[in-house]
Amino acid sequence: MKFRYGELFSGPGGLSLAALRSTVRGNGEVYSISHQWATDYDKDSCETYQRNIIGKASNSVHCKDVRKLNIEELPPIDALAFGFPCNDFSAIGEKKGIYGEFGPLYSYGIRALRHFKPLWFLAENVSGLRYANQGMALKLILTEMEESGYDIVAHLYRFERYGVPQRRHRLIIVGIRSDLKKKFGVPKPQQDVEITSREAIEEPPILENAPNHEYTRQSQQVIDRLKHIKPGENAFNADLPEHLRLNVKGATISVIYKRLHPDRPSYTVTGSGGGGTHMYHWSENRALTNRERARLQTFPDDYVFYGSKESVRKQIGMAVPVTGAQRIFLAILMTMAGIEYPSIEPTIGNGA
């Protein structure tokens, strides 16, 4: 069975790449996922998605604000994904939750569920969604998903336990249409040994002419500062000379000018932030290239990101790690095929 797949807020295609790579064989049948349509408002992300996921001219990528999109005119689907914007739920920012500019956009995923009635869906957001609006935001979202006709399983995935070389924690909600009477189980982590930053970036080495591998020109002050910062340290807990210290207090756990530790997974790759947030190599006195950041997000080296250097940085940081997402899609396909697999209890109950 091939599930026709649609995606809202698709970004550069991390979820879609994971979905299209997922195939399960069981009961004499092949279960897989095929692209039907995708939507996003960011022009560069749409081009990245179009060229990598589809690879040819197509009218199946709709590049417009979801608030101006006529969902009812999109082709029918069997599966839906939506990583609804996290700006108002993130730990970075004003955290207005469902009352912010982006918080209410989850409702377009609900609208799509009610219109298309797909067999299953996957929704993704930051871990901070659990606490937005004193916990009421998540409870409201889960209730609306259930009322749309779905059995819901919500879990905080620690992607470093799923083969991703990065400590990235994301809330993933999987819904199976209630009338199907199938129970999704959170796939059990199988990563006994975490993948380190060094392994991700150096094994195999990145080719010099790899796409999106341009080095950043560092100022002499940044170079001098990095010389005093050890692997795993940042600008606030390193032993810096006074003239290189930052005049900010209370930021000892900050990622400002933080170097990766080569023998541990990286800290979270982000898509926004000012100076000193570009992620820094453990031994070389420089920021990571976008290709190195894409490695930490488990994108293959032939996945080309389009747009300016800063646009590419944002696309990579906002994406869902491909390897981690694929583990979840495979579990969904096994659930649909009636194949048992090792699972664990979800971290978030039905009452959120």
Tell me whether residue 63 is one of the annotated catalytic residues: no
| Rounded Cα distance, 186 and 49, in Å | 28
CA distance 268 to 275: 16
What is the end-to-end Cα distance of the chain in Å, rounded?
A: 33
What whole-number distance in Å separates Cα of residue 222 and Cα of residue 225? 5
Structure tokens at 76: 């029918």
Whether the CB-CB separation of 42 and 83 falls below 8 Å is answered with no
If you compute the radius of gyration of the chain from its CA atoms, what whole number of angstroms results?
21
User: Which of these is catalytic: 53, 86, 186, 226?
Assistant: 86
Q: How many CB atoms lie within 10 A of CB 54?
A: 15
Other beta carbons within 10 angstroms of residue 257's beta carbon come to 25
Residue 347 CB partners (closer than 8 Å, separation 6+): 154, 155, 156
Q: What ranges in 59-159 are assigned the alpha helix state H? A: 106-116, 136-147
Tokens of 328: 């979840």
H or E stretch covering 18: helix 14-20
What tokens does 258 get? 């933080």
Cβ neighbours for 306, distance < 8 A, ≥ 6 positions apart? 44, 47, 48, 51, 312
Spatial contact of 128 and 95, defined as CB atoms under 8 Å apart: yes
How far is CA 6 from each of CA 256, 321, 338, rounded to the nearest angstrom?
37, 18, 23
Residue with tokens 């916990």: 135
**Taking every pair of C-alpha atoms in the chain, what is the biggest distance, in angstroms?**
68
Q: Which residue, among 279, 292, 295, has the nearest Cα to 218 in the 3D structure?
A: 279
Residues forming the active site: 86
